C-alpha cells in the first residue's frame, strides 16, 4: 500500500498513487464524497467575519486533451481545454470531439486522449484543534500541507487507505 512521505519541515506529505485515478468522474466522486461525508471530522470556523465549512473546495481544474489523427498513429494536431468543473470538462470534451470544422482545419479525425487528461482539486480543512491545512488531489497524487499535528496526517492516511483509487 502506498505511504505518505514527509517532504519538508513544515509538514507537507505526499502520497504518489500506484496508478492514476481512472477518469474525471471517479476523481470528482472522491472530492464530492469528502465534501458530503467530512471523513476527517473537520469543523466549521469563522475567519474575518466569514463563516466557512469544515472542508471547502478552494480550486478545481480538469483538462481534456483531444488528438487529431491523420491515418493510424499519425498525429495531425491536438486540442485541449481546461475547465473548472466536471460538468464543463464533459461539455468541452464533447464539443471538441464533435467539432467537424476543427477536424477539417487540423486535417485529422478527433479522438479523446484520456491518458493525458489532468484533474486537480485543493481542499481547505479546519481541524477540531484549530489548525487550517490543505489537501490537494491530482490524478496521480495526494498532498497534505500546512499541518502541525501529525494526527491530522494519520487520519487522512487511514481514510485514503480505504479508498481503492488512493491506496
Domain ranges of the chain: 5-60+117-166, 61-115
Given this model, what pLDDT does residue 101 score? 95
Q: What averages of pLDDT result for each successive group of 10 residues across the chain (167 residues)?
A: 71 96 97 98 94 97 96 89 97 97 94 96 97 97 95 97 94
- 4 CB contacts (<8 Å, ≥6 apart)? 13, 14, 15, 142, 144, 153, 156, 157, 160
pTM of the model: 0.89
The Cα-based distances of 154 to 71, 122, 144, 149, 164 in angstroms read: 51, 19, 11, 9, 17
Q: How many CA atoms lie within 13 A of 91 on its CB side?
A: 6
Each as own residue / partner, the long-range contacts of residues 154-162 (CB below 8 Å, 24 or more positions apart, any chain) are: 155/40, 155/41, 156/4, 156/40, 157/3, 157/4, 157/15, 159/39, 159/40, 160/4, 160/15, 161/1
Amino acid at each position: 500500500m502506498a505511504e505518505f512521505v514527509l517532504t519538508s519541515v513544515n509538514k507537507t506529505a505526499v502520497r504518489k498513487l500506484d496508478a492514476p485515478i481512472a477518469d474525471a468522474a471517479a476523481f470528482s466522486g472522491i472530492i464530492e464524497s469528502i465534501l458530503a461525508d467530512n471523513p476527517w471530522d473537520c469543523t466549521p470556523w469563522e475567519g474575518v467575519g466569514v463563516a466557512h465549512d469544515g472542508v471547502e473546495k478552494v480550486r478545481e481544474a480538469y483538462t481534456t486533451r483531444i488528438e487529431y489523427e491523420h491515418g493510424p498513429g499519425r498525429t495531425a494536431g491536438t486540442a485541449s481545454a481546461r475547465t473548472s468543473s466536471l460538468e464543463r470538462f464533459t461539455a468541452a470534451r464533447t464539443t471538441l470531439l464533435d467539432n467537424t470544422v476543427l477536424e477539417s482545419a487540423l486535417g485529422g479525425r478527433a479522438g479523446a486522449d484520456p491518458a493525458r487528461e489532468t484533474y486537480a482539486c485543493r481542499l481547505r480543512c479546519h481541524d477540531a484543534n484549530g489548525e487550517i491545512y490543505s489537501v490537494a488531489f491530482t490524478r496521480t497524487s495526494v498532498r497534505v500541507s500546512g499541518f502541525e499535528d501529525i494526527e491530522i496526517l494519520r487520519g487522512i492516511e487511514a481514510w485514503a487507505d480505504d479508498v481503492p483509487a488512493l491506496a
